[in-house]
Amino acid sequence: PPPQAPPPPPAQLRSRLPRPRRARRRLRRPLVASPLPSLPTL
C-alpha cells in the first residue's frame, strides 16, 4: 500500500493543474476590472 500511494497523487495533481489554470485566466479578466474584490476573494 505505501508504494502505491505516491504514484496516484502525481497523476491527479497534473490533471488538476491545467484545469485551474484556465479557470484562473477567466477570473483574472473580471478581477482586472475590479482589483478591490480580487483581494478579499483570494
28 domain residue, yes or no = yes
Instruction: At 7, list the grid cell.
Output: 504514484
**pLDDT value of residue 31:** 53
**pLDDT value of residue 11:** 53
What is the domain range of residue 25?
A: 12-41
Neighbouring residues of 41: CB distance < 8 A, sequence distance ≥ 6: 31
**pLDDT value of residue 41:** 53
Contact indicator for 8, 16 with CB cutoff of 8 Å: no
27 domain residue, yes or no = yes
**pLDDT value of residue 13:** 55
**pLDDT value of residue 2:** 56
22 domain residue, yes or no = yes
What does the pLDDT look like over 10-38, one tens digit per residue? Answer: 555 555 555 555 555 555 555 555 555 55
**pLDDT value of residue 7:** 54
For the entire predicted model, the pTM comes to: 0.14
